[in-house]
Amino acid sequence: MTLRAAYLDHNASAPLLPEARAAIVAALDVTGNPSSVHGPGRAVRALIDSARETIASVAGAEPKQVVFTGSATEAITQAIVGGVKAFPVSRVIVGATEHAAVLRAAEASGAPVEILPVDGQGLVDLDALVAALARADAADETVLAAVQAANNETGALQPLARIEALIGPTRHLLLIDAVQIFCKRPLDFAARAADMVAISGHKVGGPAGVGALLLKGHADGVRLIPGGGQEMGRRGGTEPVALIAGFAAAARAFSARYDASELAGLRNGLEAEIVRLAPGATVFSADVERLETTSNFAVPGVASATAMMGFDLEGVALSSGSACSSGKVARSHVLEAMGVDPALSACALRASFGWSSTRDDIQAFSKAFSILLSRRSGRDGKAA
């Protein structure tokens, strides 16, 4: 297998942690259906129960509040589509920079959708949220609001405490997309005003194909996939035991390994190299609190598609934003909502870090970036 010089796409999918791999392999050796009452079935059920306790512990939740799903997208869809069915929801409110999973689920819910504007740094307009809630109260309506804790493209952290203070004391519902902050920030689900929280396995070094929806007791009836009563009747389908075991092992290991200060140093070092090599570069959401794992930047005149091919040739893996577009490079709806000039957003790149990141990755990035810029300079010179 060819090793890359640098993997800087953790926000898309983190490398599988050794602990997760070991847990997956061990679970694959246990045969049985977790819904069966015989010995093998009980052994498989024990693996799921143990994983549920681990995820609950990391998330600050009760085990019974954890519903395993096939992905964070499924968890989000269950929360929004299922929430609209389970409660008298008149409208779904989402921020303009939400992940496509949230935007598409809101559209599919059948309820009217209200998009909240964001400022130039990507933060939700709280005055617009207050006004939306006031309109709902005046009309005696219930709304479901969905907010991304940290943006997957820019890393910008939404003011969750202020949002929860606005929605928590009301009858309105709140879903938090916590995919990017899970295991990086204390989630403390039990103490939060959020009714539902979505998390993912492969963003924290677990396998793809597994996520979870955290549900408060009053939201226990939020369902999406009917079936044979699995997940306490809240999500049908035989549970993927090996994936669930890997998810739990990854969450435990990732939380123990995560060093925010070290990763902030890597991000800051990368951004210093960007500015040194390309003084005209822009770093998006740089003026607000961001996750230390994420840097979204653009060099005017260097198109994203061209830049990614150049980096790839040098063994550096990064992205142009969300990795949920079938490999396509398209203009970011996040940057568009932030009011970024289309010509500049067409040059946006995202580097993201995680448990396997080192200073060697920054050096590899710097070398590849220098080569990319020199090639561009050479072409410009010939053109002149």
**Which amino acids are annotated catalytic?**
324
Give the Cα separation of 27 and 43 in Å (integer).
10
Give the Cα separation of 210 and 242 in Å (integer).
10
Which residues, in sequence order, are bridge partners of residue 348? 298
Reference 119, options 334, 271, 291, 302; nearest CA is 334
Residue whose structure tokens are 């093998």: 40
Kindly give the interhelix angle for 100-108 and 72-86, rounded to the nearest 10 degrees. Answer: 30
Reference 353, options 261, 216, 225, 236; nearest CA is 261
Give the Cα separation of 34 and 32 in Å (integer).
6
Reference 224, options 198, 189, 194; nearest CA is 198
Q: How far is CA 83 from CA 15, 92, 105, 220, 221, in A?
A: 33, 10, 11, 10, 8
Give the Cα separation of 327 and 330 in Å (integer).
9
Give me 194's structure tokens: 């959020």
Contact 6, 360 (CB under 8 A): yes
Q: Which residues of 6-26 are buried (b: 16+ CB within 10 A; e: fewer)?
A: bbbbbbbbbebbebbbebbee
Q: Which residues of 59-79 are buried (b: 16+ CB within 10 A; e: fewer)?
A: bbbbeebbbbbbbbbbbbbbb
Q: How far is CA 372 from CA 8, 9, 10, 276, in A?
A: 16, 18, 22, 14
Which residues, in sequence order, are bridge partners of residue 323? none
In this structure, the number of other CB atoms found within 10 A of the CB of residue 255 comes to 16
Which residues, in sequence order, are bridge partners of residue 196? 175, 215
Residue whose structure tokens are 């970024």: 340
